Chain A
Amino acid sequence: NAGVTQTPKFQVLKTGQSMTLQCAQDMNHEYMSWYRQDPGMGLRLIHYSVGAGITDQGEVPNGYNVSRSTTEDFPLRLLSAAPSQTSVYFCASIGKSSSGANVLTFGAGSRLTVL
């Protein structure tokens, strides 16, 4: 099992450009989410999905779009990048542990710089 795979690992954009961060999981998890990590602010939830065709906003959704056409994939789109979106982005696949709680499995992260 590969777990959660994120691409690209690094990306530099100019202000106003668009791009998509890819996330794929092979654990058949229904739930997936995107976080951004910034110094001193921990991880903040951007968007999440409870299953194919269903998405919802997290704590900081502005400037980001998501879709969930399959169980495996959950791409994050930046339609018009801004310097404030410079961050490290983590995708997390959420599965039930043997005890029933939702335990996050994280991808390795994508470091995005917007100039």
Chain B
Amino acid sequence: AQSVTQLDSQVPVFEEAPVELRCNYSSSVSVYLFWYVQYPNQGLQLLLKYLSGSTLVKGINGFEAEFNKSQTSFHLRKPSVHISDTAEYFCAVSDEGFKTIFGAGTRLFVKA
């Protein structure tokens, strides 16, 4: 069985500061890893994904994530956040089938 743990439920940060949202997963098989973002009162959209190959994955809006197999982590980073990045971020894992399991989410608050 797969599981996802997002280590921070809320992350407040000032505008233009760097941010890291942490995600750890467990799985007995090879997995695909994802970050999705949900802006207020909207549905979820894909931010980035790791399938294989390079462990550093770049996504939309300047976000990137690094896959660390030994630590079973897939932390999300952005070097300089904007007010518009305020949203909830979800880490997710799926196997080679389609079943996708989500973490509990991290609320990012960007303050002016």
Which residues in A have some Cβ–Cβ distance to B below 8 Å? 31, 33, 35, 40-45, 48, 50, 58-59, 90, 92, 94, 97, 99-104, 106-109
Contact = CB atoms under 8 A, between A and B. Distances in A.
Given A40-B9, A90-B43, A107-B43, A102 B32 contact: yes
A42 B36 CA distance: 11
B98 A48 contact: yes
Interface of B: 4, 6, 9, 32, 34, 36, 42-46, 49, 51, 90, 92, 94, 97-105
Contacts, number: 63
22 contacts: A31-B98, A35-B102, A40-B104, A42-B90, A42-B103, A45-B99, A45-B101, A50-B98, A58-B99, A59-B101, A90-B43, A90-B44, A97-B49, A99-B49, A101-B51, A101-B94, A103-B46, A104-B34, A104-B92, A104-B100, A106-B44, A108-B43
Residues of B contacting A: mostly: strand
A103 B49 contact: yes
A43 B103 CA distance: 7
